[in-house]
Amino acid sequence: MKEIHELILAEDVRYTEDHEWARLEGDQVVVGISDFAQDQLGEIVYVELPQVGDSFDKGEEFGSVESVKAVSELYMPVAGEVVAVNEELEGAPDLVNKDPYGAGWMIRIKPEDPAQMDELLDKNAYLEHLKGMES
Amino acid sequence: MNTPARTKRRPGLLMDIPVLDYREALELQHSLVDARHAGRLDRDVFILLEHPPVFTLGRRGGLENLTVPEEMLRRRGIPVVPIERGGNITYHGPGQAVGYPIVHLPSAGWKVVSFVEALEEIMIRTAADFGVSARRDGRNRGVWVNGKKLGSIGIAVRHGVSFHGFALNAVVDLEPFGWVNPCGLAGVEMTSLARETGKTLDMKAVRRSVLHHTAHVLGLDLQPVNRKP
C-alpha cells in the first residue's frame, strides 16, 4: 500500500471523504476515484456504471468497482444527470488503477447545482482527511 | 501478506449465531454497516453463523451458472437470492462456517486486497487445526485442497465498511454444489473438512477454531453480544 506521501493527488479536482474526485469542465463535472482509492482496492476487474440519462443526488450510489472478490460502492460527489460514461472501462477496468485522474474517469454529469462543488474537499483538506484516517 | 501492524487488539463485538436465514442475516449486516458508518457503532463486529440451504448470486449475476432448473430448487424450498457482494453464484447450507466481518477498513489500516487475503488466512489456519492443508490459488480466490475448493470469499464495501465475508465447508452436504458451477467456474469440485479428513467432525469445534483465528488474524478482541442489542 502506498504511503500518503507517495500518493498522486491531482490539483485540479475536488475530493469526497469516500475518495471520489470531481473535476469541473465547462458546465459539466467529470467523476472518478482517487489514487488512494485505487491503491486501496488493488487490481480492479470490473466497473459497474449507470446509464446515460440517470440522475442521482449528492452522496447517492451511482455504481461500484469490483477488485478481486470485493465490490466497493461509488457515490456521487454532487447531484446531477449522467451525460456520459467511460465505456473504455468495460474492456479495460485497470485504467482506473493506471490513470485514476485521466483515462480512468468514470462518469460525466450535468450538475444540478455547480455550487455543490465548493462543498467538496480541496487537495489539502483531502490530504488531512487521509492522514486522519490512519490514526 | 500486507497486514496492518498489530501492537494491541482492537475491541470488537461477536455475534455467535447458530443458524440464521440468509436474508435476515443480510438485513442484520446492512443495519450494522449503517451503524458503523454513522458512528452509532464505535467498533467492528464479527458475525459467525450457519445458513439454511440457499443459493446466492453475486453482483455480476450467476444464474447462467445454475445447472439445474430453478423449478427444482423451488420444489425443495431452496431460495435463490441476488446480492451485492463480489463473485458469482454459490451455495450455503448447514455445516458451513460462515463469517461476516463488519470492519471499517481504513481505520484498521486494511487494504481491500489484504483484507480478502486475511479472510483466506482464517480459513487456512482453521483447516490446519483439523489436519487439512489448504492453500491459496493465485488465479482464483478462496482456499483450496488439491484443486478442490474448501472455502469461498466475497466481500462488499460500503463507505469503507466491509460486509459479506467467507464460507468454510466443514461438514456441509456437498451435493447442492453440484447443481451450479460454483463461483462461475465450470468443473470446480468442492470439498469439506469432513470429506478431507474422512472423519465425523464436531461443528462446535470448527466454529471455535474459526473464532480463535479470526480474533488473531483481524486483530480483534471479540466480546460476545446478544443478537438484538
Q: What is the pLDDT of residues B111-137, one digit of tens each?
A: 898 999 999 999 999 999 999 999 998
**Residue with cell string 440517470:** A54
Residue of chain B whose alpha carbon sits nearest to that of A2 = B111
User: Residue A121's CB: how many other CB atoms inside 10 A?
Assistant: 18
Interface residues of B toward A, Cβ cutoff 8 Å, are: 2, 58-60, 84-87, 105-107, 109, 111-116, 141-142, 153-160
Write phi, then psi, for B199 (nearest 5 degrees).
-120, 165
ipTM, two decimals: 0.80
Q: Is the pLDDT of residue A61 over 90?
A: yes
In this structure, are residues A23 and A12 in contact, taking their beta carbons and an 8 Å threshold?
A: yes
- Residue B146 covered by a domain: yes
In this structure, are residues B108 and B10 in contact, taking their beta carbons and an 8 Å threshold?
A: yes
Of the candidates B188, B79, B165, the residue with the CA atom closest to the CA atom of residue B116: B165
Burial class (CB in 10 A: 0-12, 13-18, 19+), B23: middle
- Are the beta carbons of B59 and A71 separated by less than 8 Å? yes
- Top pLDDT among B188 and A123 is at A123
- Residue B1 covered by a domain: no
Number of domains in chain B: 1
Of the candidates A12, A45, A3, A17, the residue with the CA atom closest to the CA atom of residue A121: A17
Question: Which chain A residues are Cβ-neighbours of B157 within 8 angstroms?
Answer: 70-73
Residue B130 C-alpha cell reads as 483439523
- Residue B64 covered by a domain: yes
Residue B149's domain comprises 10-224
Confidence of residue A68 (pLDDT cuts 50, 70, 90): confident
- Are the beta carbons of B87 and A69 separated by less than 8 Å? yes
Report CA-CA distances (Å) from B74 to B71, B77, B89, B175, B214: 5, 5, 16, 16, 35
- Residue B3 covered by a domain: no
Write phi, then psi, for B152 (nearest 5 degrees).
-120, 160
In this structure, are residues A123 and A11 in contact, taking their beta carbons and an 8 Å threshold?
A: yes
The pLDDT assigned to B227 comes to 54
Question: Which chain A residues are Cβ-neighbours of B105 within 8 angstroms?
Answer: 40
Give the model confidence (pLDDT) of B1-27 as tens digits: 445 555 689 999 999 999 999 999 999
- Residue B43 covered by a domain: yes
**Whole-angstrom distance, CA of residue B68 vs CA of residue B65:** 9
The pLDDT assigned to B82 comes to 86
- Residue B156 covered by a domain: yes
- Residue B184 covered by a domain: yes
Give the model confidence (pLDDT) of B51-75 as tens digits: 999 999 876 667 788 889 989 999 9
The domains located in chain A, with CATH, are 4-134 (2.40.50.100)
CATH number at residue B16: 3.30.930.10
- Are the beta carbons of A134 and B84 separated by less than 8 Å? no
Confidence of residue B228 (pLDDT cuts 50, 70, 90): low
What are the binding residues of B? Answer: 85-92, 152-154, 165-167
The pLDDT assigned to B180 comes to 84
Mutation choice for B interface testing from A44, A62, A69, A126 by most B CBs within 10 A: A69
Residue B86 C-alpha cell reads as 463480489
Give the model confidence (pLDDT) of B134-170 as tens digits: 999 877 889 999 999 999 988 999 999 999 999 999 9
The pLDDT assigned to B137 comes to 87
Give the model confidence (pLDDT) of A97-126 as tens digits: 999 999 999 999 999 999 999 999 999 999
Burial class (CB in 10 A: 0-12, 13-18, 19+), B111: buried
In this prediction the pTM is 0.87
